[in-house]
């Protein structure tokens, strides 16, 4: 009877270690869609660079034309990374 209990305890301990180890690692970058991958993107044009430069002063929810691009900026929010973000 004691051997069965010891074996069950050992199996439970191993299972717990595998669970903790499996949940502790970060998912591979390939697991994210390109839009959600943990990275930064560089602007594709001088116009996009100008939009990003003006982001702090853009009004909330109103269309604005910046360097020929029409942009609507939503309210800033705090991301889990600690950065302040805005949806454009």
DSSP label at residue 56: G
Q: What's the alpha-carbon Rg for the chain, to the nearest Å?
A: 24
- The mean pLDDT value for 35-56 works out to 84
Tell me the C-alpha distance between 70 and 7, whole Å. 67
| Highest-confidence segment of 11-20, 31-40, 59-68 | 59-68
pLDDT band (50, 70, 90) for residue 27:
low
Angle at alpha carbon of residue 73, lines to 84 and 42, rounded to 5° = 65
CA–CA separation, 76 and 61 (whole Å) = 11
Pair of tokens at residue 45: 């044009």
């Amino acid at each position: 009877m004691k051997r069965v209990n010891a074996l069950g305890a050992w199996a439970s301990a191993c299972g717990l270690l595998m669970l903790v180890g499996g949940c502790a690692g970060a998912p591979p970058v390939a697991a994210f869609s390109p839009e959600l991958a943990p990275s930064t993107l560089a602007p594709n044009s001088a116009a996009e660079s100008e939009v990003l430069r003006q982001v702090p002063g853009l009004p909330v929810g109103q269309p604005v034309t910046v360097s020929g691009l029409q942009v609507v900026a939503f309210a800033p929010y705090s991301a889990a990374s600690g950065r302040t973000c805005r949806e454009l």
